[in-house]
Structure 1
Amino acid sequence: MTTGALWHGFAVAQSQPAESGAPEERAPQVSEQAQPVGVAPEDELQPAEATEVLDTRGVLTPKNSLIFEPSLSMSYSSSNRVAIEAFTIIPAIAVGLIDVREVRRETLTAAAAFRYGITDRFEIEARVPYVWRRDEVRQRALLEPTSDDVIIDSDGDGIGDIEAALHYQLNMPDPGNAYYIGNLRVKSRTGDDIFEVEREFVMDDDVIVGQRLAEQPTGSGFWALEPSLTFILPTDPAVFFGNIGYTWNFERDVGGDIGRVDPGDFLNLSFGMGFGVNEKTSFSMGYDHTVVFDTEYKDLEATQNVEFDRVHVGNLLLGFSHRFSKTRSLNISLGIGVTEEAPDVQLTLKMPLKLF
């Protein structure tokens, strides 16, 4: 069975044959065409050969091989925000300022990733994204007696945050045991961030109804370092996988009245399992959960130094993978948000190509 795209964040199929998950446990194949007694089919992998392949090959990009992986990802999220500055006369009746907003966000990311095998157990990776974002906010003019809604929208596009990563396979397990992979990823701040884009007032009949960004940011604005540990356990006909990682976002002085900002770190956990439909096609399901910790504004006064509560971002993952040939495959994944802070839906299309 193929193990390609059976878990979030790796393309395992590039370095394994279609049936290398657990060759010792696979039942002998019976050919429909008669074979001479005592002579094995030429294209059938014998147990000794299968064991040798398992012992000498890992789950990363093979030595001196280069994988090019273009991808296209779409994300959509919507939320309703209610802000009330008022006093209560009786329960459920408030007098004051009530601001209700409906926010919608669309993000489209096209990325080019390259993976190169230094050895059979060590690979390097680079990823360059191009991001297009659009935000729409529907609200009503504040402090004005009106029932008309106002749409405030803005969009932006450009290079996102470029990433680089190292992946090292820690072990070469016996059949039935798990592969463990150590990962180290660095994210830059090459994209335009929210502190760099200009803001402008939104007017309606000469009345200021809000503010908007002149263009949407394409980057986070902070360098980040993410070590993580991945396991892959082939158990024919399924493959179990999981990953745990921690992301450090580095403090930065953004200038102006804000000063130093220490963004919240991330703790991420994902797990799931994949099934081999046939020798070329597989299906997977999993769950990804990220805890985002508090953000601190260190140069603001105590009354202004707002520390956001930690938030939980959970996504249910469904994946599909098909191997067209030894050098080309297709991976499709669908993420469905299960917490309030998660995007409503994420759809990602990847096509790994082995160049050499």
Structure 2
Amino acid sequence: MKKAAVAFSLPLATLVSSVVLAQEGADAALLQQQIDALRQQLILQNQQLFQLQQQLSATQTPSGISSPVAEGMTERVEGEPRSPQQGRSTEDLLLEQHNVFDRKFSLEAGLTYTYYDRKDLIFNGFLVLDAIFLGQVDVDRIRAHQWTADLTGRYTFNDRWQAELQLPYLYRYSHYYSVGKDGDGRDGISEHSLNEGGLGDISAAVFYRLLTETDTSPDLVWNLRVKAPTGRDPYGIPEERVGGDESNLTVPTELPTGNGLWALSTGFSAVKTLDPAIIFASINYTHHLERSFDDISAAEGNQPGKVRLGDAFGYGMGMAFALNERLSLSMNFNQQFGKEAEQHPDGGDKVKIAGSDSNSASLGMGVTWAMTDKLSLVVNWAAGLTPDAPDYVVGIRLPYRF
């Protein structure tokens, strides 16, 4: 019986092993089928992805601008308002020339350096044969350096209204130089330096967007600005002779940091996007209010009276280019015409101050670098084109958007 049991167990073990191997082979075949199916799906997905990429490329020109066919799919109704598609850097440059209403609050710190160099020749004599000058020639020269540090805050109420407040601080350094004859007829060379610092004239402004840019019209903003006489006014500052009695140089004892008068100005600024450029222009008019002073003369003693600076009209124009998302370049031209100032001494007649009218024109450039999503660096410079304009101006501004 034991031999029969052993003989029966051997075929049974062989059968069980065969069944197990068959089951494992079936599982392996099933897994292989699943792998083959997934591989086929991956190949199909890659083909579909390639076809979609080809279709996307077909709807774009080499420069990355949508083709007319693609534009037709998302065409805007003509006259519908739109925002200029400038980058962050161009937006910050336009903030200096125009206005941007997309940020609730912004704070801007600036530092500007202005340089003046003026030479005056004074002739006291006569010409012989219209070619030879006989007499006295005096040369007066003034070199003026002015640094202005200001802090400007802008608050946007909505997409139409915005308010601004600017607080300036001025530091001035002037060097006076004179060559000529003194009172005794001797050659004299005199020079003197003077510096002064203090709060400038604070200004506040409101801006209202009249038009929002569309395909056919520009972005148009009206502005109204008030400037308060918070700086040191230039009236009644006494003069003194420096270098002794033999000197022929007379200089003021102080330097002003403001003009001493209330001023109201209004104007318009416009911006139009013409890819890849953005053009901007502005006009403004400034009116100075008449004001009384205890002393309006540099002579000894108080001479009370009223002063009013001449009204001024100015305009500007320029163009900005976005080199990339964070770097942009701009060019601008500005000119301002000022009428003659008037003085009205107490008990006397109102008179116009001869030579106080002005024509100031400058040509400038600017570069903006958007350093972060909120902070930018704006560098600008300008060269004077007329004698009444500064010789050159260099400025650095740091606008920060909250």
Regarding TM over 0.5, the answer is yes
1:81 Cα deviation after fit: 1.0
Question: What's 1:54 paired with?
Answer: 82
Question: What's 1:202 paired with?
Answer: 242
Preserved contact between residue 343 and residue 350 of structure 2 (Cα < 8 Å): no
1:246 to 285, 295, 319: 285
Question: What's 1:217 paired with?
Answer: 256
Map 1:166-177 to 2 at 5 A: 166-177=206-217
1:330 Cα deviation after fit: 1.1
Structure with larger Rg: 2
1:188 to 228, 248, 256: 228
> CA distance change for structure 1 residues 303 and 129 in 2, over 3 Å: closer, same or farther?
closer
> CA distance change for structure 1 residues 55 and 102 in 2, over 3 Å: closer, same or farther?
closer
2:171 to 89, 110, 132: 132
In structure 1, the gaps of 5 or more residues are: 1-33
Map 1:17-32 to 2 at 5 A: none
Preserved contact between residue 315 and residue 336 of structure 1 (Cα < 8 Å): yes
- The two structures have a TM-score, normalised by structure 2, of 0.71
Question: What's 2:310 paired with?
Answer: 264
Preserved contact between residue 84 and residue 213 of structure 2 (Cα < 8 Å): no
Q: Over aligned residues, Cα RMSD in angstroms? A: 3.2
1:231 Cα deviation after fit: 0.4
1:168 Cα deviation after fit: 1.1
Is 1:285 aligned with 2:324?
no
Q: Partners of 1:82 and 1:171 in 2: how far apart?
A: 51
Deviations 1:78-115 (A, max 9, x none): 01112334455553555665432011110000000000
1:306 to 326, 335, 353: 353
Which secondary structure does the structure 1 equivalent of 2:82 belong to?
helix
Whichever residue aligns with residue 290 of structure 1, its letter is Q
Whichever residue aligns with residue 329 of structure 2, its letter is F
Preserved contact between residue 188 and residue 247 of structure 2 (Cα < 8 Å): no
1:214 Cα deviation after fit: 2.2
Whichever residue aligns with residue 343 of structure 1, its letter is P
1:142 Cα deviation after fit: 3.2
1:148 Cα deviation after fit: 4.2
Question: What's 2:196 paired with?
Answer: 156
Which secondary structure does the structure 2 equivalent of 1:207 belong to?
coil
Which secondary structure does the structure 1 equivalent of 2:345 belong to?
coil
Q: Partners of 2:83 and 2:350 in 1: how far apart?
A: 61
Preserved contact between residue 60 and residue 123 of structure 1 (Cα < 8 Å): no
1:172 Cα deviation after fit: 1.9
- The two structures have a TM-score, normalised by structure 1, of 0.79
* More deviation, 318-327/295-304: 295-304
Preserved contact between residue 177 and residue 234 of structure 1 (Cα < 8 Å): no
Question: Which structure is higher in helix share?
Answer: 2
Q: Partners of 2:333 and 2:50 in 1: how far apart?
A: 46
Q: Partners of 2:378 and 2:155 in 1: how far apart?
A: 19
Is 1:37 aligned with 2:76?
no
Deviations 1:237-281 (A, max 9, x none): 100001000000111122333611121111111001111111111
> CA distance change for structure 1 residues 112 and 264 in 2, over 3 Å: closer, same or farther?
same
2:383 to 336, 343, 350: 336
Q: Partners of 2:158 and 2:76 in 1: how far apart?
A: 20
Q: Partners of 2:395 and 2:235 in 1: how far apart?
A: 28
Q: Partners of 1:56 and 1:235 in 2: how far apart?
A: 9
Map 1:29-108 to 2 at 5 A: 37=52, 54=82, 60-62=100-102, 65-88=104-127, 90-93=129-132, 98-108=137-147
Q: Partners of 1:130 and 1:35 in 2: how far apart?
A: 62
Whichever residue aligns with residue 281 of structure 1, its letter is L
Which secondary structure does the structure 1 equivalent of 2:294 belong to?
coil
Which secondary structure does the structure 2 equivalent of 1:149 belong to?
strand
Which secondary structure does the structure 2 equivalent of 1:351 belong to?
strand
Q: Partners of 1:133 and 1:282 in 2: how far apart?
A: 32
Which secondary structure does the structure 2 equivalent of 1:261 belong to?
strand
Percent of pairs with identical residues:
26
1:62 Cα deviation after fit: 3.1
Is 1:294 aligned with 2:334?
no
In structure 2, the gaps of 5 or more residues are: 1-48, 57-65, 86-90, 92-98, 296-302
Higher relative contact order (CA 8 A, sep 6+): 1
Preserved contact between residue 60 and residue 169 of structure 1 (Cα < 8 Å): no
